[in-house]
Amino acid sequence: MLPKVAIVGRPNVGKSTLFNRIIGERLSITDDQPGVTRDRIYSKASWLTKEFFLIDTGGIELSDAPFLTEIKAQAEIAMEEADVIVFVVDCRNGLTSDDSYIAKLLYKTNKPVIVAVNKVDDEQFRESQYEFYSLGFGDPIIISSGHGVGIGNLLDKIISLLPTKKDEEVDDSIKFAIIGRPNVGKSSLTNTILNEERDIVSNIEGTTRDTIDTRFVRDGKKYTVIDTAGLKKRGKIYENLDKYAAIRTVDAILRADVVVLMIDAGVGIIDQDMHVGQYIHEYNKPCIIVVNKWDIVPDKDSKTMKKWEDDVRSHFKYLDFAPIVFLSALDNKRVQTMFPAIDEAYIAYHTRIKTATLNDVVLDAYSMFPPSIFNGGKIKIYYASQVGVEPPTFTFFVNDPQFLHFSYYRYLENQLRKNFDFYATPIKLEFRKRD
* Amino acid 261: pLDDT: 96
* Amino acid 434: pLDDT: 86
Which backbone phi and psi does 65 adopt, to 5 degrees? -60, 150
Domains, the chain, in order of start with CATH, read 4-161 (3.40.50.300), 174-349 (3.40.50.300), 355-433 (3.30.300.20)
Asked whether the beta carbons of 433 and 399 are under 8 A apart, the reply is: yes
Give the residue among 138, 36, 40, 136 at the shortest CA–CA distance from 80.
40
Please state the pTM of the whole predicted model.
0.69
* Amino acid 39: pLDDT: 44
* Amino acid 40: pLDDT: 46
> Distance between CA 226 and CA 213 in Å, rounded?
5
List, edge to edge, every strand of the sheet that includes 212-218.
Answer: 212-218, 221-227, 174-179, 258-264, 287-292, 324-326
* Amino acid 238: pLDDT: 42
pLDDT tens for the 435 residues of the chain, in order = 678 899 999 888 998 899 989 988 654 444 444 433 334 467 778 898 888 888 888 777 766 655 456 666 767 777 887 899 999 999 988 899 989 989 998 998 899 999 999 998 877 777 778 899 999 999 999 999 988 889 999 999 999 999 876 545 567 899 999 998 888 998 899 889 988 544 445 444 444 445 567 888 888 899 999 877 555 544 444 443 344 456 667 778 888 999 999 999 999 999 888 888 888 998 899 999 999 999 999 888 889 999 999 999 999 999 999 999 999 999 999 999 999 999 999 999 999 999 999 999 999 999 999 999 999 999 999 999 999 999 999 999 999 999 999 999 999 999 999 999 898 999 999 999 987
Sequence-separated (6 or more) residues with CB below 8 Å from residue 112: 83, 84, 85, 161
* Amino acid 126: pLDDT: 77
CA distance to 19, 269, 291, 295, 297, per residue, from 266 (Å): 42, 9, 9, 9, 6
The amino acid sitting at 329 is A
* Amino acid 92: pLDDT: 87
> Distance between CA 217 and CA 346 in Å, rounded?
16
Asked whether the beta carbons of 176 and 258 are under 8 A apart, the reply is: yes
* Amino acid 326: pLDDT: 96
The amino acid sitting at 268 is G
Sequence-separated (6 or more) residues with CB below 8 Å from residue 347: 423
Instruction: Tell me the pLDDT tens digit for each residue of 20-59.
Output: 899 886 544 444 444 333 344 677 788 988 888 888 887 7
* Amino acid 64: pLDDT: 61
3-state secondary structure of 156: helix
- The CA dihedral of 157, 162, 167, 171, to the nearest 10 degrees, is -130
Give the residue among 242, 239, 315 at the shortest CA–CA distance from 277.
315
Instruction: Let me know the angle formed at the C-alpha of 249 by 246 and 252, rounded to the nearest 5 degrees.
Output: 155
